[in-house]
Structure 1
């Protein structure tokens, strides 16, 4: 187990974070403190919790440029991409408040005219452990922390070890917003730290944004602990299907954005694109290839600005290069081959491979793969039905998109593709804050986040309430 973690600004080399990994003894104490804080925090009036959440959103807005630059510096995201993440994080505060009021505030389910009132209350879980990712180090953990705090939970937050400075900034912002001591605490480290925290008897919920492998490992670790709620937001092998009617120029823009935005490091990025064989399909693919070859790949301070930034690390680029070779071994042929930049080992140019004509066994393997970077596999199919079938041929089910076609065709696509986010005439990466966000199959465990994240932050409590004890003998029905 390593003893320290540090991060440096990818542009200047200046240190952003340096600290010791949280050891097992410290984790035990953090969890104990969180348990005590949870009992106090859930008794805070809801309007006070809402006020603190709103203040946190205001701090994000006030320091918008500062946190944008910190995200870009630590994880290498392009400035426009980091700015979009900050904007989404600001909006999450009010969206979470609205979600709490609509979906999780106390309700009376009768009209109040009878002697018995039927009430639904919501009790917080207690201590929620949030395990954050590197690709959206502010927005994605924030999308779980905000509703968890609103619901009355204490939170222990472990940011990605590759985005610890952003995590530290977030925790400090919550303190500035007035959050009481120990209600939100941060622990530092990698897999070993997460394992130790999950093992704590004080944990009542574990919220992960990460890979399928990480989700499965936590699921196994929690075996036999049904009292711990597990919410998994995992990866995907996301398909986009292109109807022959779609304009090639539009296709080029939407498919390239789906596949290569954030250097392909979004869980919703398109990995497979299906075109119908023929002249129109060929034109669409050619437009996509032409658009992709024109993309500028670079770092966040380049001028003119880059379209595609670096991967999170040189190690990530090495792993992606192995994926590229695996795809070649399956029979895919390069339309745009692998090319890494001499400037920085984490800079990888977008890749497009053609899987048309590969064996069925290779198609099955392709649908099962998971990668995180700017590689897109295209495939020509005989008709749209075959494209739908291949799109659905994956154990994942996070996002999918259909470009072109009619509303009836899109409805058929939604029914068949088996994903939790299914878009029409937009990128696979399109998600709205006022909607649920979550995957099916190996992409999640029936705990959608987004607007619905508030649902897994508390348990419903049902009550039948009378103003005085009932005079009716409940045993009278058997006399």
Structure 2
């Protein structure tokens, strides 16, 4: 059933109707319209930024403990409404309920993690200054920051920017993905109930035009984005020459998972499937390339993974029994993935397990395994869905070379019983997240999250989000002005 969200914008503490074009969002599992409203126009975006700017001085100067108190009330509300919010995530993004619950749990846990990170990585430090007095390190918020949210984690990922930004004293204008507006609306309503002052957090819904109006507005002091490489590259170009604005980009990856000298085939199968197919392959840390040895050992690994993948239940979130994988986000995304598979086959790839689309009307895709070893000039692209490309190599040296053969550098992993191989892999791999005998998708919010190359711009989020939410101010001070006892050299008495 469609939910009409008018008013759909939250500006200066008031819910308002957008003055832009009408748009809607659908449940990817069944095609039902779940949200409809009007996008924010340029004037609406401008009003949101003005509201944030006006709210900024008081919010930045508010006692830190008072800001923490509001954040902790938000965490309590997340806990009280976890079932409701998880259902909203399932409806909006197509995730199974069990996975949506884990997302709400991550949102709740982000509060305590952000507070700890703020104190450890920013906050205020005191020490002795050279020649007497004090050396003090303070951190100040940037001002008004824009947060762009993705569709694959419509609650958790924007929350990972918003929480540390508010904690540091910034005010936020939040633009969620147009594919998942319902989760953003539900989350902002919880922030409203938590007692945020008017203008501190503003919500502007909309499509590309709304995003462009926000990103290009001269009134923002920074932009925090999690999403696709093309959009991140566009933002990077748009911010060129604007030295006073901070841009934090967490983008995708063509992530390698190497399996070598691994005896437990059940573990190999489980960890590979969890790396490649959780969230229907729609995690930026998902394994995209599986690198295994030639010969019987590699054959056995692939057979075990194939058998495990065949056991996965792929269905709508409300299916009984509950599925492991729901749909990808849209029919457009499903069409693109099926076309990518066909292109690989036309280029010489061999299908091990075909990624299929049981219902042509819906974007439900079964997991796919495809051997691309013999494909010449393989394209280095992120296929954001449940398709895993297999590459066979003769030596571990070749496995490392293949793993690093990408313009990205987000995640890489090794499944192996050989500690010496791990020591080589951790030193020679080029990625910001490197796991050993753990799924690639097992990233921790208590650690930095980000990568190198086209996977970002060296501003990792998660625990290190505190770093880009505030800027350091170094001070030497003493409470009394005192002349030195003697003149410096070169000065006559």
Q: TM-score range by the shorter chain?
A: over 0.9
1:83 is matched with: 101
Deviations 1:318-360 (A, max 9, x none): 111121122223321111123101275200111110022333x
Cα distance in structure 1, aligned partners of 2:414 and 2:30 = 41
Cα distance in structure 1, aligned partners of 2:156 and 2:375 = 39
Q: How many residues are paired up?
A: 473
Shift of 1:389: 0.7
RMSD of aligned residue pairs (Cα, Å) = 1.8
Q: Is the 8 A contact 2:24 2:37 kept in 1?
A: yes
Cα distance in structure 2, aligned partners of 1:260 and 1:57 = 29
Are 1:7 and 2:25 an aligned pair? yes
Provide the secondary structure at the position in 2 that maps to 1:22: coil
Cα distance in structure 2, aligned partners of 1:239 and 1:351 = 16
Cα distance in structure 2, aligned partners of 1:168 and 1:294 = 36
Shift of 1:130: 0.2
Are 1:106 and 2:137 an aligned pair? no
Q: Is the 8 A contact 1:8 1:74 kept in 2?
A: yes
Q: Is the 8 A contact 2:225 2:250 kept in 1?
A: yes
2:173 is matched with: 156
**Greater helix content:** 1
Provide the secondary structure at the position in 2 that maps to 1:17: strand
Are 1:411 and 2:423 an aligned pair? yes
Deviations 1:204-233 (A, max 9, x none): 110011111111100111111111100000
Q: Is the 8 A contact 1:249 1:287 kept in 2?
A: yes
Shift of 1:430: 0.8
2:75 is matched with: 57
Q: Which runs of 5+ in 1 are unaligned?
A: none
Deviations 1:26-54 (A, max 9, x none): 11111111111112210110000000111
Cα distance in structure 1, aligned partners of 2:238 and 2:232 = 10
1:320 is matched with: 337
Bigger mean CA offset, 56-65 vs 333-342: 333-342
Query: TM-score, normalised to structure 2's length?
Result: 0.93
Cα distance in structure 2, aligned partners of 1:211 and 1:474 = 61
Q: Among residues 349, 358, 363, which one is paired with 1:332 in the alignment?
A: 349
Provide the secondary structure at the position in 1 that maps to 2:314: coil
Provide the secondary structure at the position in 2 that maps to 1:400: strand
1:356 is matched with: 373
Provide the secondary structure at the position in 2 that maps to 1:345: coil
Cα distance in structure 2, aligned partners of 1:242 and 1:320 = 25
Shift of 1:16: 3.7
Indicate how the Cα distance of structure 1 residues 355 and 2 shifts in structure 2: closer, same or farther if over 3 A, else same.
farther
Provide the secondary structure at the position in 1 that maps to 2:263: coil
Q: Is the 8 A contact 2:262 2:268 kept in 1?
A: no
Q: Is the 8 A contact 2:30 2:316 kept in 1?
A: no
Shift of 1:12: 7.5
Q: Among residues 188, 191, 212, which one is paired with 1:174 in the alignment?
A: 191
Q: Which runs of 5+ in 2 are unaligned?
A: 1-18
1:424 is matched with: 436
Shift of 1:445: 0.4
Deviations 1:58-109 (A, max 9, x none): 1000000000000001110111110110111110011101111111110013
Q: Map of 1:63-212 to 2, 5 A cutoff?
A: 63-110=81-128, 115-212=132-229
Cα distance in structure 2, aligned partners of 1:256 and 1:431 = 16
Indicate how the Cα distance of structure 1 residues 385 and 305 shifts in structure 2: closer, same or farther if over 3 A, else same.
same
